[in-house]
Structure 1
């Protein structure tokens, strides 16, 4: 790795927390959570020295700036400052040189190309006024909220007093959300000590780029940023405490929220308090119901953190299958209870309703409600006559993560999950903080299976006393938001990549004919991958705050492996019930990643009657338009 690329990684890692260009089809609604950042680039006379690679340090810095800017998203608020370009470093020019600070680009978004041109024109020559540069950077940033300064230098401040550490402390104390980070490039011990002092006084971190080879791994993970967290805003239908008077969900509601009450039941209790709902159904429907926790990100919590959650159908004749993907030792991340019914008819739903309940057990978040999001997916009038026999469980095909990865902008939930590129051609990398969960999606057709690989690149989070778990937890869901794989956990020290994915190709007949590992693999469309940074320790469970958090880094690649096969068809939408679901349900109709798949599947599921009605409507409209045009022409000739 060249010093230029090393510097780019340093600046990007410490300063911007991966202000990434979104990967393919990342949601436009994804908010940029990286704080406004001013980068200060040293252009003093010492930057004209040649480094070990034969380039001047200034040339390496310019190369670094270009590499750095390649990874900056359009919505990132970024500014650039330099010093030392307007004078020489001769003694007689010291007074002017210590005021020689230039804002190349004021803080703004969408100005990457402008900054490139300004950086190319820099010529190093003068003094090193770090204190004035820090003040100017602080003045360029907003007065409130998280904001970031990154100072990159190869030497000592040559314009004290006041000491630059005092300046950094003063600025940081003016607003605790102002963080000052520093990077030292080929610095001696004296300069390193000063830059470390600046970072400590400024509430930030120092990164030493003196040894490029040894830092190549660590500089990718040594950055700070705010946590990205999801909060549900769905309409609430709180589950009833009474089995005889369950909360009824309107037929046109497929996603909703509810608080999940603390029941006080022990984790090993068979029976406990439950919350109850009722769903209207039509004959010939099959329901897939999922409930997922969305509690705030947290870590720690080995004390009283046992947790359990399950879903049950009140009428046993409706039971097709249920799944509970819950971590009994911790409810960090997303926990899921899910179930699927038999086809409604004489036995199940004969009165026009299906009732279900969710139970919570254990002492995690004792006495507190946990927010739930629930999703109901309807499969109506299924026809599987063209669907081949399902395949048995087999090893997930091995895939390799490409050497070159793009920086991901992962989602925080299913609704804004970022679509992964074809893993045969491109992988992604992302940084994650303890307690955070990332969401991605991969379109997979019937007959195909998801095959993915993830590799960790370490963390700068200090181990601390009593840490028992420090890992990434990976889960896979289908469009019904039901588990499609047993969860996979990998420690941050794992050197090799870990393969995960579907136990067999997707096949709707797995609902009835699949084995225990494959019965979850019944729905095509988007398959969602969640990555959670789980951290357990002997401390109480702590909610992650709004401040800066240190990160771990991982790389991820995924493919849809295998050849597509025919899927089921479903009856058309009835006049007074929700959309028929499954292969023809556009569960995220506004999602461009699945629109084409959903449209094709919807066409396949539409019956002759529907097409006849559409054709009739077209003829009627054509007749009206034709009559209007004829009348207009006749009137115009009078």
Structure 2
């Protein structure tokens, strides 16, 4: 957007000159070449209607979310009243998410004072620029921002360090949080610090578990030691499969582990409960707790008679990245994940800062598969000493929050897109008979795409904090391939008791177990010890982009940029899972 370029500064053109504000292009991505062409044709002249330019810039921005305006000028406002500082204050007061920054280009003291007033009233900052290079650097600085990170608000059920006294989880809890402790025993990949929980179960149901770290965003960590995360059922006869996608070399961002049970019955869960553990391995964040969220998904009385045979693994479908992409407002976690369009020629683009993770969601039915492509748009971040690589890593999760595809990474210096997705259509039968490439593709519904900005470096782990950071940019597109097929049906789950009822039942059960253990003590082998020795089956298994300054001869230009924040969560698709609230009622 420009102002003061279409008239002269003659007195008779005052009224027209104070309305002389031109939008070069609407606020969206993928139009840098068009903007360059518009800027090349600009000739500076006329009046300086800063107030009108700010108002029009604000109208170009979305009504909600983090938004910013950068006003660049080489002089004072020549179209007051109203005073431009009052206009800036008025716009900023309309919402805390609108920030107005200013840059003075070769300005005198009077103009500098006015531009500082505008920035102060608009909740932003003022910077000086003396030449094209410093002007470009000022624009980069003003397009930096602090990280937007998720913080768990789930009820906490801290895991017990004692396997024989696991933490009791009430029947009506679907998800909970816990600190994952470091007791100093996890010196290598063999030893680890395990924490234990117990959940009530019903006959014939399966249980799907997931654990995801929600530690504060960080950099580096290469020399902090290897990292591992293992989620397992205590009675190995309960275990159908388990896997971990924790990055052993750099545990930045979300790290995950998952497990699936067999059907509850005589060999597992016959006493009305199952125990499971989460084990932390390695030296990463030695001496510090790592917060995790755990999710419990219950599958009751499945009927797969209408489900066709699953397909074998094949190449992930190709995804085209169009030239134009809409600005995205990604979420910070599963609850506020943004809907990702899958129409042909649809894509989104957004900025991301080091240590940040973005979440998107796409509904996928049985018989269909998800594919996505990501491409880096570059970054203003200068590589710091000791930094080996800046990259974006992409992961896909199902509704149970279990990882369903091998992660893919793209460095910020690469202009080649990377594809990630399902290696076969979704089919519930793979839960028992899938291959290593397909066994995770058992659940339909929302599939979640997570994009995290990793800064891998030597030295210790460093938390990001609230400091302003330069942004990187990426474009993301997705498609859903295939035709829907029948899925399984499930029995209605029994209504769970209240938390107090569940706690009372657990207390009674603990008392019975204590008596049984005492009776068996002469044999030196309690019930839990006997169960632990059972057989095992386990498979491991504005210009929204940072604007370039085209010429130093522009008298004044306003750039507008729509930031992002998570959009309100839409209702998730109905399904066959037993739906429970995310914390005890």
**1:594 paired residue number:** 572
**1:128 paired residue number:** 75
Deviations 1:383-435 (A, max 9, x none): 11111111111110111022221111000000010111114241111111000
Deviations 1:209-238 (A, max 9, x none): xxxxxxxxxx8x982222111001011110
Pairwise CA distance, 1:303: 3.1
Judge which range, 307-316 or 528-537, deviates more. 307-316
Q: Give the alignment of 1:2-151 within 5 angstroms.
A: 42-43=3-4, 62-64=22-24, 67-68=26-27, 102=51, 128-129=75-76, 141=92, 148-151=99-102
Tell me the matched-pair count: 478
Query: Is the 8 Å Cα contact of residues 146 and 178 (structure 1) preserved in structure 2?
Result: no
**1:510 paired residue number:** 430
Secondary structure of the 1:317 match is helix
Partner Cα separation in structure 1 for residue 405 and residue 279 of structure 2: 22
Partner Cα separation in structure 1 for residue 144 and residue 289 of structure 2: 31
1:440 to 357, 360, 368: 360
Query: Is the 8 Å Cα contact of residues 485 and 502 (structure 1) preserved in structure 2?
Result: yes
Q: Give the alignment of 1:301-316 within 5 angstroms.
A: 301-316=221-236
**1:238 paired residue number:** 158
Partner Cα separation in structure 1 for residue 220 and residue 74 of structure 2: 48
Pairwise CA distance, 1:60: 10
Cα 1:368–1:426, aligned 2, differ >3 Å: closer, same or farther? same
**What is the Cα-based RMSD across aligned positions, in Å?**
4.0
**1:206 paired residue number:** 138
**1:549 paired residue number:** 469
1:299 to 219, 230, 239: 219
Query: Is the 8 Å Cα contact of residues 353 and 472 (structure 2) preserved in structure 1?
Result: yes
Query: Is the 8 Å Cα contact of residues 147 and 179 (structure 1) preserved in structure 2?
Result: no
| Larger helix share, 1 or 2 | 1
**1:11 paired residue number:** none
Partner Cα separation in structure 2 for residue 175 and residue 301 of structure 1: 40
Partner Cα separation in structure 1 for residue 96 and residue 146 of structure 2: 11
Query: Is the 8 Å Cα contact of residues 265 and 272 (structure 1) preserved in structure 2?
Result: yes
Alignment of 1:179 with 2:111, yes or no, is: no
1:473 to 393, 411, 416: 393
Gap runs ≥5 in structure 1: 1-7, 9-40, 50-55, 72-84, 90-96, 115-125, 185-189, 200-204, 208-218, 579-589, 606-638
Q: Give the alignment of 1:174-573 within 5 angstroms.
A: 178-180=124-126, 192=132, 196=135, 205-207=137-139, 223-266=143-186, 268-573=188-493
Cα 1:305–1:178, aligned 2, differ >3 Å: closer, same or farther? farther
Query: Is the 8 Å Cα contact of residues 453 and 499 (structure 1) preserved in structure 2?
Result: yes
Instruction: Report the TM-score when normalising by structure 2.
Output: 0.72
Cα 1:411–1:102, aligned 2, differ >3 Å: closer, same or farther? closer
More relative contact order, 1 or 2 (CA 8 Å, 6+ apart): 2
Cα 1:70–1:113, aligned 2, differ >3 Å: closer, same or farther? farther
Pairwise CA distance, 1:517: 1.4
Partner Cα separation in structure 2 for residue 474 and residue 341 of structure 1: 27
Deviations 1:317-341 (A, max 9, x none): 1010001010111211100011000
Cα 1:302–1:222, aligned 2, differ >3 Å: closer, same or farther? farther
Secondary structure of the 2:448 match is strand
Partner Cα separation in structure 2 for residue 169 and residue 128 of structure 1: 12
Partner Cα separation in structure 2 for residue 352 and residue 461 of structure 1: 55
Secondary structure of the 1:526 match is strand
Pairwise CA distance, 1:358: 0.6
Cα 1:401–1:147, aligned 2, differ >3 Å: closer, same or farther? closer
Query: Is the 8 Å Cα contact of residues 42 and 128 (structure 1) preserved in structure 2?
Result: no
